[in-house]
Structure 1
């Protein structure tokens, strides 16, 4: 089978699966308190080593990585965590029209609760209209703009957006689920305050992700009950998933993205030879390395999918 839905999820790398199984069956402890038995200490050490691996990938400190169940939870924690925290008096959130539903639906729910929510339109290639974004920053507590779009692959210039937000004193969150470990990300250089990432899009296990929370940024926790994950995410940590996530990160390389870009462009060129076809989104470096979206005029997408499955 030729699998072409890696923007939805990826198969788990066999070596990652081995490590996940090891921490499910043999090293099955949960991180304990200050004094724990050997299985607890082993689990705690594994989680902290995983935190270091993921932090290093984005230029962060290990203490700035909060493990979650995936990008959807991370997005909720980022947006609601800022909106609900009493430190931030402004009740305005800015986002774009093509965000993942876990950001858009969260923002629209905040609107129902009385918050001001501004949704910025995008151009024909999916890029946020920067003049509209800049004009929207007055009175905003948070801007949430994704790095790479999950459908048409547009890569926003998050460095420019981050600089703009930092200059105006507005927190900046980016959903980097599709770009993490594929495109270069440096949270310090890009002025990112909050960033959502996930494991299952880089050949890691499902059900685990993380939120980067810049030191000094305060969030209202959504799940309470203990002090785990800096007090931002109570409950038993998914140790096998976290360890598998880190192993998947270790197994990524810049060469992978180079290969994906080459295959992406080859596929685009081939598809555009078909009559009445049109590429959606940009070409080249402004497109994430693994997403192709083409429209075939007069043909329904469902028909293409059904034919591809045969």
Structure 2
């Protein structure tokens, strides 16, 4: 099996796994202790969480706090519902976690359009009366990198806070300077599943969504997992150290894949994008048949969160594609652990299978 779905999830880094193991140990080592207990094993576990919090913070701007959550979806819900906006502006290509939370907030929702290249214009005007603006750093389906610094300034000029979904960008790009709230996920940067984080700029107040023991400064009750936190922290440190190396590796993979897919149409801007996301279409392509013919290749027909729904991607529709064009698109995701030979073999096989369909 060749894995090419890095936008859905990434392989767990060996360093993250090693960091988790002590906190998954049996009763002799006390690694299972509750980090919120006052005894020595509990305090030791709590210290591991504090360290992980500092490690994750290295991927984020200064002047804020990191609140651990169960996922980036939870983090985005906390940011939106916990802020209780009266008017929220969101881009048309946001993740469902943002779009659905905005709809559930009871606020008036204003949509920010993107161009056919999948980018929000830098000179976008934020409507007066907007409390919160949400635009993601890197789109999970087409990989476009949004001008978040300019949009954050526009939000502030309008008197609004700026929320950035940095799930696909954290550990790969510089942090979203100017944002007031930033969500990220461990398993999208080679950490474990089941943990995310919300960075909250100092002075920004939120109401908790989960009530109980008052953990995470009262913002997110529930017992934290030292193992998941430690894995997240180790993955963050590794991503920070390897940022340039990983980017160079991905750029070489991109060049190779683009050469093989000559004649296929790229979805989204080619210059302003994360190169580990290759979203392509070939008009007339039967993607379901393609995936059936290539069962030992793991790639995507769209966002993993919407797979199986049968609905065309809202992101591809937002950039002007017809339903037919959207359903003729595939997403290939690669990264740190993708071997060049595997990618070249997979791409060549996809091209050959498409040709066998006569398209």
Q: Normalising to structure 1: TM-score of the pair?
A: 0.89
Structure 1 residue 283, shift from structure 2 partner = 1.2
Residue 288 (structure 1) aligns with: 274
Residue 224 (structure 2) aligns with: 237
- Structure 2 gaps of 5+ residues are 297-359
Structure 1, residues 259-292: CA drift from partner, whole Å, max 9, x if none? Answer: 1122123212321x24xx20001113x1013111
Query: What SS is found at the alignment partner of 1:200?
Result: helix
Contact 1:178 1:201 in 2 (8 A): yes
Residue 8 (structure 1) aligns with: 8
Structure 1, residues 102-152: CA drift from partner, whole Å, max 9, x if none? Answer: 001111223xx3x21001111111112455x41x43101100101100010
Query: What SS is found at the alignment partner of 1:302?
Result: helix
Structure 1, residues 58-88: CA drift from partner, whole Å, max 9, x if none? Answer: 2335x610000111111111111111xxxxx
Establish whether residue 128 from structure 1 lines up as the match of residue 132 from structure 2.
no
Query: What SS is found at the alignment partner of 1:251?
Result: helix
Moved over 4 A (4+): none
Cα distance in 2 between the residues matched to 1:219 and 1:168: 20
Structure 1 residue 298, shift from structure 2 partner = 0.8
Query: What SS is found at the alignment partner of 2:277?
Result: coil
Cα distance in 1 between the residues matched to 2:117 and 2:255: 17
Query: What SS is found at the alignment partner of 2:34?
Result: coil
Query: What SS is found at the alignment partner of 2:93?
Result: coil
Cα distance in 1 between the residues matched to 2:86 and 2:112: 17
Structure 1 residue 300, shift from structure 2 partner = 2.2
Query: What SS is found at the alignment partner of 2:76?
Result: helix
Per mean C-alpha deviation after superposition, the further-off stretch among 219-228 and 121-130 is: 121-130
Contact 1:21 1:240 in 2 (8 A): yes
TM alignment of 1:103-182, pairs within 5 A: 103-110=98-105, 113=106, 115-130=107-122, 133-134=124-125, 136-182=126-172
TM alignment of 1:197-276, pairs within 5 A: 197-252=184-239, 253-254=242-243, 255-271=245-261, 273-274=262-263
Residue 59 (structure 1) aligns with: 61
Query: What SS is found at the alignment partner of 1:241?
Result: helix
Once superposed, what is the RMSD of the aligned Cα atoms?
A: 1.6
Structure 1 residue 169, shift from structure 2 partner = 1.9
Cα distance in 1 between the residues matched to 2:276 and 2:111: 26
Residue 24 (structure 1) aligns with: 24
Q: Normalising to structure 2: TM-score of the pair?
A: 0.77
- Structure 1 gaps of 5+ residues are 84-89
Residue 76 (structure 2) aligns with: 75
Contact 2:135 2:165 in 1 (8 A): yes
